[in-house]
Each structure stands twice: as structure tokens, then as C-alpha cells.
Structure 1
């Protein structure tokens, strides 16, 4: 690929190119193909297998398959029954008109008024990868009903021909990605199945209890009996964040809670959450929330929010 953009949770804005619900006949073989954007396949009924490059995955009801751009893939459907599935083609951000293409001519061999791009252009088009989440090529979500409804909603919204339909489509895609994130991480944000998940969970519990004081990487590493460098690497692998980023998140979440209570000054809150420098606290808060602590608190007053749920 010529360009690969790095997309994080803040810049994630999925562009859905194509959605379809299909029933594939028993014994069908979809020959090898390449795709040039990202694709999710969700199996509703039936079974088969999907080869992606040199790996072959079983496809059963409830399985979610993920194909990344420029991966050779082919599908086989079992002889027993048809396969009912949903497929979604998308990019993690809209890459611009110059990088867009119609899926009908490229994937479905349907003729249109637009000339289909050639293979060299497709191979050279840029890509955007989501760096905050590592989605496996095959997973079996436990939230079966929620995933089915998410794909059904995506398909319905793709059929919407209104000019503003892309807004709903984007919202539905964000919901699906959010469901995937819930399947892959614990409430603490640790990747499920990580080899050192228990060690990282202990570190996070320690951070939650002590974030108002000084928390350093060497301190956490010593608790885990690991070197600081190795601990830092493992923590980033397990959570997608550095130790410093995680501690800052805890502090700012507590700051927002205290601002909602409206019983302390901004300076007192900064001190309470472990960031003694008021100017630095305000700078960090604004970078995270898009407005200063005072304006955040004032906006809550304007809404009539006093720390308790209104009736």
C-alpha cells in the first residue's frame, strides 16, 4: 500500500461502502478474490470455511470473520445447507473521493456508467488501520442477538436512499465496532486472553486506588517483579495505552465526576486528582474534553445538572 493512515478512537469515523444480506447455496465455492477495503462477514445460519492468505477458518453460525485489504481469500459452503450471512465493506475513515470506488463493479461484476478502476489503482489506494483495537480474523461473539441486530440494522440503513442516510449508517457501524470492542476487552480495558492479563489487572486495581498520588512505571513494574521496560510493553499490549495515559484517564474521569458534584473549585479538584498545577490540569482537561474545566462545569450548571439525576 502506498499510504496507511493510523486511526485511533478519537479519529474513528467509519465509511460504509457496501452492505448485503445473502444466502449462498449448499456446496458453493466463492473462488479466490482480493478486496481493497475492510470486510466483516457475520454468519447467521449454515457452515463452511474461509481461507485468508495461508490460514483457513471454520465458519459456523454466530461467527464473525474479518478480512483486511489486499488479502487473498476464498470461501467454501458446506454441502449440508445454505449459508445465510451478512457482509459489510468499509473503511475506518472516508479517504476522499479520489480513493473511493464502487463495490458493484469491483466485487459484484455489475456493469455501471462508471468505469471500474484497474487492479494497479486498487492496489495503490491508501488504507486506514485502527490502532486502538486488534480485531482477529475470526471470533465468536457471546452477544449473539446484539450482533445479529447490529448487522440487520446496517443492512436496513444501507438500503435507505435519503441524502442524510450516511449519518445513520455511520452510527450503526460505530455501534458494531463498539460491540466488537466489548467482546475483546474487560471492563478495565484489558484484552481478553492476554498472557499477562492477571498481572495487568492487579496493576490497574492499584492505579485506581492510588491515582491521586504519584504512580510511576518503575513502581508498577516492581510490584509485578518485571523490568520497567518489559512491564510498559506488556501494559501497552494489554490495554492499548501507556501507563501514563491510563493514569491520566483515571484522573480526568474523577475530575469530571467532581465537577458534576459542583462542591469544589477547579483548583481543589486539580489537587484532589493528583495534578497540583492548575494551569497544567486545565491544559490536560481541555485537550481531552475540548473545553476548560470551568466551561465544562458551567455547561453543567446551564443544563441544570447538580450532581443528581433530574426528575
Structure 2
């Protein structure tokens, strides 16, 4: 292979790897940008030819039946089903049965990626207006939530709640003005909250995970003894697993590591103590298991965006 061809091959390979590895952000950085929303009725027997999308898409089936291909996987579509399509994934849809299919579709990004990565959904997805530079769109970065692992197909439990969330999205998108755009953004956050309730327990464990009970026991242990010395080896020993295996299944079940989960617990308790303004910063750190005031302050600022002392002065615990 010639040097020029080899460099081109490497460039394409790196670009594909880049597209397949989305950046993960936590909920504090979530600021969704809703690009397009519509409710559509598709006639029986209709075939939507293969397409590629460049942002994220939710499809929620209100009525009717069909089949959806995502990559090389086919999914049956029926009322109450939710589909999640990630960027750069080939997909096509067929409406089966004798009735039309009524569904909502929402195109969005978890954060606004900037003018350089913006595009018109009307020209790209609906074939209206000018042509877009497809090469540029193929290199758009992907950003997803770290706390939420959304399956590409699921039957939702709260059908009414999801229908109302999509209805709010659709109604807000059809209106103009800043207020409507903010309403649409809030509606998408509400939809993600509904998804979280469907997929995760209060403790942040993925519902249906085969080791959910083991992970829940570890979390309850951390919640009751967060001020003590706790690590993955200790929790693994309690569960009868090796530290490496336990760490793997814990991250699979929660989306985060043992140390990160424990730190989040400690910071939550620290915020409650700081808000009461009865203890010094050093005393609060010791109470949550981080006696080194410098390390505690560093971790608190990293988690909350401000120092412990500033947090304490900015909020007061309501009197009884």
C-alpha cells in the first residue's frame, strides 16, 4: 500500500473509531438542543428507505405496527414502543398491518455542539432546501449521558407519561420564540427523567441487571458507613468476588466506579452538613471520611464547582 493510501486508510479508521466512541457527560452538563420534532402518520405498506442520521433520535409509536432496522438488527414496532437511534447508524422502517402508523420523532443533541457542527434537519432529513456537506456531518462528535444507558428498543411501562412528554415536545417545537424553545428543552429533560425511572432504581442500578441485588447490598453498605475506609476490595470480599470482577460488575450495573460512587455519597452528605453551618470545613471532611482538608476541598470543588466554604455561605439550612 502506498504512503498516501495508507494515510487515507488510517484517517478513515481513526474517524470511524472517533464516531463510535461518544464523549460521556454527567447530568450537570446536560443542556439538550432539540433540532426537530414532529408527529407523523405513515400509510400501511410504506417503506422508508435506508437513511443515516447525524444526531440522536427518539421514535415513539402511538399506534400501528411496523419493523425498524438499526444497523443489522430488526425490531418489531407497536404501540408504546420507544426506539433510540444513535448518530451515524443506518436505519430503515416498514409499516406493516392494515392501519397507518402514528408516531413521534425527536432529533436532538445532549448539548449544543456549536455553529460549526450545526445543520438543517429540513435539508438533511426531509430533502427540502439546499444540500448539506455530508462529509462534514459524518465527522460530527457524539455526546451522551454517562448516567443513562438507553437501549435502542424498549417497551415503556408508563405509556401515558411518555405520550404526554412527546406531546409537550411536539407542541413546544411548533411554537416560536425563546419561551417555546425553553419549554421544548425542559420537555426533553422531562423525557430523559422518565427514561431514568424506567431503566434505573433510586440508587442508580440498572433494572434487570443480573447482579442488581449484590450491587444494591454494596451501595447500602456504603450509605451506612461512608465515613469509614471503604474500597472495591472490601466490598468484593463481602460479596465473595475478586476485586477486579466486582469492580467490573459494579460499573456495568451503575455506569460508574466504586470510588466515584462513594465520593458522590460523601459529597452529598458534606453538602447537607455544610448547609447547616455548624461545623468547620475540616470537621465536615472528617465526618464524611475525608479528614485531609486540602484533599476534601479539592474534591468538593471539583464536584460542585465551588469551595466548601463558599457553598456553606451561599446556602442556609431551613430552620425547623
The two structures have a TM-score, normalised by structure 1, of 0.90
Distance in 2 (alpha carbons) for counterparts of 1:219 and 1:127: 36
Aligned residue runs from structure 1 range 100-249, under 5 A:
100-110=118-128, 112=129, 115-163=130-178, 165-249=180-264
CA shift, 1:105, in A, is: 1.3
Distance in 2 (alpha carbons) for counterparts of 1:134 and 1:280: 31
Q: Determine the structure 1 residue equivalent to 2:318.
A: 306
The two structures have a TM-score, normalised by structure 2, of 0.88
CA shift, 1:164, in A, is: 5.2
1:42 aligned to 26, 48, 60, which one?
60
CA shift, 1:236, in A, is: 1.1
Distance in 2 (alpha carbons) for counterparts of 1:221 and 1:121: 47
The alignment status of 1:279 with 2:294, answered yes or no, reads yes
CA RMSD of aligned residues (A): 1.9
Over 3 Å counting, the alpha-carbon distance change for 1:146 and 1:307 in structure 2 is farther
CA shift, 1:163, in A, is: 4.0
Q: Determine the structure 2 residue equivalent to 1:94.
A: 112
Aligned residue runs from structure 1 range 240-279, under 5 A:
240-279=255-294
Distance in 2 (alpha carbons) for counterparts of 1:58 and 1:261: 53
CA shift, 1:130, in A, is: 3.4
CA shift, 1:139, in A, is: 1.1
Structure 1 unaligned spans of 5+: none
Deviation string 1:258-302 (CA, Å, 9 cap, x unpaired) is 23334333332222111112222222222212222222222223x
Over 3 Å counting, the alpha-carbon distance change for 1:245 and 1:16 in structure 2 is same
CA shift, 1:307, in A, is: 4.8
Higher helix share: 2
1:28 aligned to 46, 51, 55, which one?
46
Distance in 2 (alpha carbons) for counterparts of 1:268 and 1:69: 48
Contact 1:16 1:88 in 2 (8 A): yes
